[in-house]
Amino acid sequence: MTASPRIPVSAAQFAASERWEENVEIILPLIDAAERDGVRLLVLPEGVLARFTTRRERIKDAAQPLDGPFVTALLQHTRGAAVTVVVGIHETSDNGRPYNTLVALRGGEIIAVYRKLHLYDAFSGAESDNITAADEVPPLIDVDGFRIGLMTCYDVRFPELARLLALRGADAIALPAAWARGLLKEAHWRTLVTARALDNTLYLVASGEAGAGCIGQSLIVDPLGVTIAQAAEAPAVITNHLDRERIEHARSSLPVLEHRRFEVDPTPRALPPVHTPILERS
């Protein structure tokens, strides 16, 4: 199949609830609207199977396997649809602490899975209290000839991961997130998403959860660091295009991938033995 020169993509943000059934009811119309509008990639927020703002250890009981009712409902709804959906869930694991997992769905099938590498043990967060860190590099998925890498929220603070995806051929990165509010955190989000796009001359399609404690502010940033779509804090859908000519222009005028002097080693380091010190509340 001939690769498309330009495809529409969307990032949708909403306030996730504690009940997976309510979140499915929000997501299914978003999929329908994306399919109706010809969107080829729909990026949804991180961990929207269930969101707990207090007693976050409850995610251990709420987590589901990939063949559980949450993902199954989305798979059934995408049968016959052309849109690719990237959504974050919490997936059960053998050790009782679930994975923070991205699932890419298309045509009623799971086409890729990525379990979060970098856990948010920073500022006032201690994600590793309840979540298991994975060790596998994110995959690339193909959407109409565009190669899309996957990252989750805190991953965006680690430039080597985005660089590795770019070197493996990514034209864009889908970034589901639930970015916590806090001092300077909105500036961090905008800076980091923009930097990862510009660092690697690729598109960033970033979806931010819009519930209590999260900033929303979904972004689509082009390969030269230009924000081409942006949401505020409320539920919203933003849409623009991935454009092959724009990627080629960026990489010819700013050939940072060719000029780099160092390789990225994809071997994960051992996890730190203790949490990062709490610096501030977020």
Give the tens place of pLDDT for each residue, 182-227.
999 999 999 999 999 999 999 999 999 999 999 999 999 999 999 9
Domain that includes residue 29, residue range = 8-258
Angle at 19 between CA 18 and CA 23, to 5 degrees: 100
Catalytic residue, chosen from 35, 46, 91, 209, is 46
Q: For residue 268, is it within any domain?
A: no
Catalytic residue, chosen from 116, 127, 209, 214, is 116
Mean pLDDT of 114-135: 95
Mean pLDDT of 47-60: 93
Q: What CATH number should be reported for the domain holding residue 24?
A: 3.60.110.10
Mean pLDDT of 139-148: 98
Q: For residue 263, is it within any domain?
A: no
Q: Is 46 a catalytic residue?
A: yes
Q: For residue 182, is it within any domain?
A: yes
Q: For residue 269, is it within any domain?
A: no
Catalytic residue, chosen from 35, 91, 127, 153, is 153
Q: Is 185 a catalytic residue?
A: no
Strands 219-221 and 227-230: antiparallel
Per-residue pLDDT at 42 exceeds 70? yes
Q: Is 153 a catalytic residue?
A: yes
213 torsion bin: left (phi>0), alpha (psi -120 to 50), beta (else)? left
Q: For residue 165, is it within any domain?
A: yes
Q: For residue 3, is it within any domain?
A: no
CB 63 within 8 Å of CB 105: no
Residues of 215-233 as b/e, b for ≥16 C-beta within 10 angstroms?
A: bbbbbbbbbbbeeebbbee
pLDDT band at 61 (very low <50, low <70, confident <90, very high): very high
pLDDT band at 31 (very low <50, low <70, confident <90, very high): very high
Q: For residue 105, is it within any domain?
A: yes
Number of domains forming the structure of the chain: 1
CB 242 within 8 Å of CB 203: yes
Per-residue pLDDT at 115 exceeds 80? yes
